[in-house]
Chain A
């Protein structure tokens, strides 16, 4: 089985499991004992606080599919590899006790489109960057989260940063063919 297919299946499996199992078992818990349950580094990025929260993130994923087409597949394959890096970064966010949500990985996908020269994608990158800056300065609204949960903009910042790094360091992510398919899969590039 090609590495990309395996990684895509892992990502889909993680999302399915994280949606079906109780979030308490899967969310990221920061603090001194955080690394005693290492699976949370993966599952926390795929589990959600509510069905509405999940739906909003999946809608963003669907939108990115419309933007990138099939070129999104190799990028999606990277998600199971990026998830623990993003979670490790979130362990250092001051005051954060628990975390759930896919949007950090959605921000990663946005970042990987950095070398796509089409103007709507350029505008998306610019708008996303500005929005992130405003969130960091003035806080952000959370219309799709339950009352007592705050949006963790640091996850978006970390995801976008990792996405930009991937776009810069992985030539396979540099170009998107007219139909959206890259010439070399990033998973192949990693091997």
Chain B
């Protein structure tokens, strides 16, 4: 009787142990721009007047501080920020884009912290990237074969489904006004054997951020163009030039016309002589 009890206990514990191998059915990572800028449920204050943008702009680019222990390490963040920077660096109205490490921003730091960082990096406009990633884990029918132990190494019995949203909010630092925003999203589904599940799903989460940022860049570009149109038509912001203008050596239509006419005349007179 005692032996049977001992065996039953061993069986229950073993099964319980196996069950505990499985990851939680979902996990989420968040960095919210609202929680960063308006901690303790503060309400946004409406400032009268239009934001004044002094061209060329110096732009700061940062992830909002979020969950402390998440998959998005500083090196990975820096790579993603560099990707966004690369896509916008050559715009003539942008003097420079500075990527700001997360360590310069405090969770719940609000606009006071944003202004500190902006002063430190000498930027006029901040692009804050907030993120929301959720991963769902499920077992499929093949997971039954895990009981063979070898199955846990070779059978793709665990599935993950990672949804990522990255949102870029562009703020004028001086007026605290949101100029425009753009979202980017991705969804990655996959499966792996039990023993590799942690690594595979971690890679999928990192890939989810990369794809969401790739998806964000064209949307941000589109919103930027739309914002430029709104400045022209609705005058949503006042544009001024910083002291010192930017010049271009350009052959305008008149100069091109003169050169073109001279070339044409030479060709025509050359032909007449040849006859």
For residue B60, give the distance in angstroms from its CB to the closest CB of chain A. 16
Q: Which residues of A contact B248 (CB under 8 A)?
A: 48-49, 53, 99-101, 103, 142, 145, 149-152
Query: Which of A50, A63, A144: most chain B Cβ within 10 A?
Result: A63
Can you name the residue of chain B whose Cβ is closest to the Cβ of A86?
Answer: B249
Q: Does residue A75 face the partner (Cβ distance < 8 Å to B)?
A: no
List A contacts of B266 (CB < 8 A).
Answer: 66-67, 118, 120-121
Contacts of B259 in A (CB 8 A): 60, 63-64, 67, 110, 124
Q: Please measure, in the bound complex, the distance between the C-alpha atom of A67 and the C-alpha atom of B262, giving whole angstroms.
A: 6
B234 within 8 Å of A (CB atoms): no
Cβ of A167 under 8 Å from chain B: no
| Residues B249 and A100 in contact, CB atoms below 8 Å apart | yes
Q: Which of B89, B250, B262 makes the CB contact (< 8 A) with A142?
A: B250
| Stretch of A1-9, A32-40, A90-98, A181-189 with 4 or more beta carbons under 8 angstroms from chain B | A90-98
Residue of A nearest to B273 (CB): A178
* CB <8 Å contact, B247 and A124: no
Determine whether B73 belongs to the interface, using a CB cutoff of 8 Å to chain A: no
Interface residues in B114-166 (C-beta closer than 8 Å to A): none
Cβ–Cβ contact B249 & A96, under 8 A: no
Q: Are B246 and A150 neighbours in the complex by a CB distance under 8 Å? A: yes
Does B255 lie within 8 Å of A60, measured CB to CB? yes
Task: Point out which of B241, B261, B266 has the most chain A C-beta atoms below 10 A from its C-beta.
Answer: B266
Contact A96 B247 (CB under 8 A): yes
Q: Given A60-B255, A63-B256, A66-B263, decide whether A148 and B244 contact each other with a Cβ distance below 8 A.
A: no
Q: Is B182 an interface residue, CB under 8 A from the partner?
A: no
Whether B249 contacts A101 by the Cβ 8 Å rule is yes
Q: Report yes or no: A148 in contact with B55, Cβ–Cβ below 8 A.
A: yes
Please state if B256 and A60 are interface contacts (CB–CB under 8 Å). yes
Q: List the A side residues contacting B267 at CB < 8 Å.
A: 66
Verify A128–B258 contact, CB threshold 8 A.
yes
Residue B90 CB within 8 A of the other chain: yes
Q: Which residues of A contact B246 (CB under 8 A)?
A: 49, 96-99, 148-150
Q: Does B233 contact A (CB under 8 A)?
A: no
* Contacting residues of chain B (78-96) with chain A, CB-CB under 8 angstroms: 89-90, 92-93, 96
A127 in complex: contacting residue of B241, B245, B251, B258, CB < 8 Å: B258
Residues of B within 8 A of A110 (CB): 259
State the Cβ distance, A115 to closest chain B Cβ, in Å. 15
Number of chain B residues whose Cβ lies closer than 8 Å to a Cβ of chain A: 33
Question: B103 within 8 Å of A by Cβ?
Answer: no
CA distance A100 to B246 in the complex (A): 8
Contact with A along B252-270 (1 / 0, CB 8 A): 1111101111110111010
B52: shortest Cβ distance to chain A, in Å? 15
B56 proximal to A (CB < 8 A): yes
Contacts of B262 in A (CB 8 A): 63, 67, 120-121, 123-124
Can you pick out 23 interface pairs between chain A and chain B where the beta carbons lie within 8 Å of each other? A49-B246, A50-B92, A60-B259, A63-B263, A95-B245, A98-B247, A99-B247, A101-B248, A101-B249, A103-B248, A104-B249, A110-B259, A120-B263, A120-B265, A120-B266, A141-B252, A146-B92, A147-B93, A149-B246, A150-B246, A152-B247, A152-B248, A155-B249
A-B residue pairs, 9 tightest by C-beta? A101-B249, A97-B244, A152-B247, A66-B263, A63-B259, A103-B249, A120-B265, A60-B251, A124-B262
Residues of A within 8 A of B (CB): 22-24, 30-31, 45, 48-50, 53, 56-57, 59-60, 63-64, 66-67, 90, 93, 95-106, 110, 118-121, 123-124, 127-128, 131, 140-152, 155-156
- With A56-B251, A123-B262, A124-B258 already in contact, 14 other A-B pairs whose C-beta atoms are closer than 8 Å: A30-B244, A45-B249, A53-B250, A60-B256, A60-B259, A63-B259, A66-B266, A95-B244, A101-B250, A120-B265, A128-B255, A151-B247, A151-B248, A156-B249
